[in-house]
């Protein structure tokens, strides 16, 4: 990784992050949303689902909610790119000698930073309610999430680029994809109770494997085979997203 790549990524990241710092209210609301979800929905789970083995439902629910946020944030990242493309800001950046991949990664890093802060908040709140912290597993889980998030973000950029000039394709695809991906991944409820066809659909959903991996990692089972599947899914999404996105930018938007 060259110095230029690191510098350019930093530049794009700072550019993306500055408006949020200038007007922190929006940032606070973004940060607060998962907490609401955690308290309002998580508390219902507490009594409704039997997890067995005396494991706190929070152990199961916290990684799920993090994956869910990881879906919403980076997918939304394409929206900012879309705005920059419909105006002339993206074009202006493409005329600079900035590294192309850095333009994509720097943008997704903003979502990653927000995600990490959100994760820290959620964990801090869940701990007094019975969530047990396995530091190594949690750090590994967050790294996995960042890889997944960068990949999703890059795919969201691909979509934004393809959605030009009107941008409506971006909305259609994200709206159509988001909920099936989410519901089929077992983020909200365990898939065990689902009918067979639903479980079959769930297996081909890459998000399922990432959710499973996160749950294993957050339970401290670093060597669990689901971690490997999750890692493969996240890496595949990141590679496809970044290669595709960078190629599109090189070819001219």
Q: Give the CA count within 13 Å in the CB-facing half-sphere of 198.
A: 14
Angle between helices 206-218 and 225-251 (to 10 degrees): 130
Least Å distance, CB 79 to other proteins, is: 11
Q: Which is nearer to other proteins, 7 or 44 (CB)?
A: 7
Q: Residues near 240 by Cβ (< 8 Å), separated by ≥ 6?
A: 151, 155
In the list 5, 15, 121, 181, the residue contacting other proteins (rule: CB under 8 A) is: 15
Q: Which stretch binds other proteins (CB under 8 A): 1-9, 40-48, 154-162, 194-202?
A: 1-9
How many CB atoms are located within 10 Å of the residue 59 CB?
Answer: 20
Which two three-digit tokens encode residue 59? 């152990």
Least Å distance, CB 80 to other proteins, is: 8
Q: Which stretch binds other proteins (CB under 8 A): 15-23, 53-61, 164-172, 222-230?
A: 15-23
Which spans in 163-224 are helix H? 168-183, 196-203, 206-218
In the list 6, 19, 39, 127, the residue contacting other proteins (rule: CB under 8 A) is: 19
Distance of CA 26 to the CA centre of its chain: 19
Judged by CB under 8 A, the chain residues 41 through 100 that form the site for other proteins are: 80, 83-84, 87-89, 91-98
196 makes contact with other proteins (CB under 8 A): no
Distance CA 141, CA 235 (A): 13
Least Å distance, CB 160 to other proteins, is: 14
Q: Which stretch binds other proteins (CB under 8 A): 2-10, 115-123, 193-201, 230-238?
A: 2-10
Distance CA 40, CA 171 (A): 28
Site residues for other proteins per CB under 8 A: 4, 7-8, 11, 14-15, 18-19, 22, 80, 83-84, 87-89, 91-98, 251-253
């Amino acid at each position: 990784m060259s110095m230029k790549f690191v510098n350019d990524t930093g530049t794009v990241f700072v550019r993306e992050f500055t408006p949020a710092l200038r007007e922190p209210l929006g940032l606070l609301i973004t940060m607060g949303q998962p907490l609401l979800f955690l308290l309002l929905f998580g508390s219902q789970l507490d009594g409704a689902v039997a997890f067995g083995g005396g494991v706190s439902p929070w152990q199961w629910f916290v990684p799920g909610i993090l994956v869910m946020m990881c879906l919403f944030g980076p997918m939304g990242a394409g929206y900012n790119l879309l705005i920059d493309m419909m105006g002339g800001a993206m074009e202006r950046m493409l005329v600079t000698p900035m590294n192309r991949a850095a333009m994509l990664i720097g943008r997704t890093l903003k979502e990653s930073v927000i995600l990490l802060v959100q994760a820290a908040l959620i964990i801090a709140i869940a701990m007094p309610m019975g969530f047990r912290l396995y530091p190594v597993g949690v750090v590994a889980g967050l790294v996995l999430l960042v890889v997944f998030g960068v990949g999703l973000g890059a795919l969201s950029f691909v979509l934004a680029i393809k959605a030009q000039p009107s941008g409506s394709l971006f909305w259609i695809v994200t709206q159509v994809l988001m909920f099936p991906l989410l519901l089929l991944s077992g983020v909200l409820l365990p898939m065990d109770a689902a009918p067979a066809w639903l479980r079959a659909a769930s297996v081909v959903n890459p998000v399922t494997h990432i959710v499973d991996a996160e749950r294993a990692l957050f339970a401290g089972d670093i060597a669990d085979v689901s971690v490997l599947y999750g890692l493969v899914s996240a890496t595949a999404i990141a590679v496809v997203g970044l290669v595709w996105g960078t190629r599109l930018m090189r070819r001219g938007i």
